[in-house]
Amino acid sequence: MDALTAFLNRLKKEPRAKKHFLGLLHALIGCRITTASDGQVVSQGLSWRDLAAKLKKIRWDPDCVGQLGMEIRELPQRDRERLWYQVISRAEVDSPAAVASAAQLAEVLRELGYEII
C-alpha cells in the first residue's frame, strides 16, 4: 500500500480530521504532506482527477459533502469518481475558507504524525 492510501485510510477513521474535509481537499491538491518522524513524502499535490480516483478507491464517505454545502442527491450516484470530481470542482479549494480549514487540519495531522508544508 502506498503512503497516500495509508494516510487517507487513517484519516477516514479519524473523526477530528473528517470535520475538515475542505481543508483536506486543499492540502491534497496544493500542499506537500510528509510524515513528521522521517520526512517521508505522502503527497506532493494531486490533480483533481487523481484525487477523485483516490477517494473512490478508498471508498471515502460521500456524506461529507454536506460540510461543503452540497446536496449528495444532486451529484452523480452511480459513478463515484465523477461524483468526487464534481465535489472537488464545486468546493472552491483555493478559497480563504479552504486555507483556514487546512490550517486547522494541520494541527490535527501534527498529532497524528504528519506535516503539511
- Binned at pLDDT 50, 70 and 90, residue 1 comes out as low
| C-alpha span between 16 and 90 (Å, rounded) | 23
Tally of domains in the chain:
1
Distances (CA, A) of 96 to 77, 85, 91, 101, 111: 29, 21, 12, 9, 24
pLDDT in tens, 10-66: 999 998 888 999 999 999 999 999 999 999 999 999 999 999 999 999 999 999 999
The alpha helices in the chain, defined as continuous H runs, are 3-12, 15-18, 21-30, 48-57, 80-90, 96-112
Q: What is the pLDDT of residue 77?
A: 84
Domain that includes residue 74, residue range: 3-116
Q: What is the pLDDT of residue 17?
A: 87
> 98 and 25 in contact (C-beta within 8 Å)?
yes
Q: What is the pLDDT of residue 41?
A: 96
pLDDT in tens, 59-115: 999 999 999 999 988 988 889 999 999 999 999 999 999 999 999 999 999 999 999
HSE-up (13 A, CA, CB side) for residue 97: 9
Q: What is the pLDDT of residue 64?
A: 92
